[in-house]
Amino acid sequence: MLVSPSLLSADFAHLSADIDMINRSDADMLHLDVMDGVFVPNISFGFPVIKAVAGICRKPLDVHLMIVQPEKWIDTLASLGASVMNVHQEACIHLDRTIAAIKAAGMKAAVTLNPSTPVCMLEDVIAELDMVLLMSVNPGFGGQKFIGNTLEKVRRLRRMIQESGSGALIEVDGGVNAETGAQLAQAGADVLVAGSYVFSTPDPEAAIRSLKEL
Ligand code: DX5
Ligand code: ZN
């Protein structure tokens, strides 16, 4: 299992300590949640923070843009050194063009689906994708309850990926803990994002390890 801890639940007054922990840990990527107060009912952090994090984080950056018109920021994110750019299907009118532009800028292209968006929306672009991010909560906040229907979506997406010959990974975000993580592993998820489960424990490195072992 690959693990991408979400910085949203970190201590923003001591970010460098939390990034040091991520660097030491078995995490495969660091998940960065950008919110604009329009696409989602919350505002988190933006490019100056990502730039500062990129300067000290040795793990690949997995950037999740919960913003309208994410295609405006492809070059900015590439220049900051992001490895993965996640755009929401619901935020992109010309999704095929945006996926191609993300890849041309040298990043991995990932498309995110809200809980209410069916996986069939990606049928015609799945072959082009490096990753699909399934939201298992409505995006905007950490610490929400896992939506159980996501397990069936993972299974459906796994079938779609197999039938299309796509190499896309399946990432899941929201309400992930040891219990829901184990269910997701069984359903066929490749990457788990976890915010509160990692950062609200006294031993975050052990929490990351417990997800990696699923
Ligand atoms: C929510 C974000 C998540 C969030 C997950 O909109 O996309 O990445 O940090 O937090 P937990 O793991 O606490 O549900
Ligand atoms: Zn996220």
pLDDT tens readout for residues 113-129: 999 999 999 999 999 99
CA distance 152 to 77: 32
Give the pLDDT band of residue 21 (cuts 50, 70, 90).
very high
Residue 195 CB–ligand 1 contact under 6 Å: yes
Mean local confidence (pLDDT), 84-100: 98
For the segment 67-85, the average pLDDT, to the nearest whole number, is 98
**Torsion on CA atoms 9, 19, 207, 42, rounded to nearest 10:** 20
List the catalytic residue out of 33, 62, 130, 190: 33
3-26: average pLDDT: 98
pLDDT at 104 (0 to 100): 98
- Using pLDDT thresholds of 50, 70 and 90, give the confidence band for residue 42: very high
Residue pLDDT, tens place only, 133-159: 999 999 999 999 999 999 999 999 999
The rounded mean pLDDT for the chain is 98
Q: Output the CA 31–ligand 2 centroid distance in Å.
A: 7
Q: How confident is the model at residue 47 (pLDDT cuts 50, 70, 90)?
A: very high
Ligand 1 pocket, 204 CB below 6 A?
no
- Contact predicate 95/89, CB 8 Å: yes
CB 67, CB 140: distance < 8 Å: no
Task: Tell me the three state secondary structure of residue 206.
Answer: helix
Distance CA(210)–CA(178), nearest Å, equals: 7
Instruction: Find the length of the chain.
Output: 214
pTM for this predicted structure: 0.98
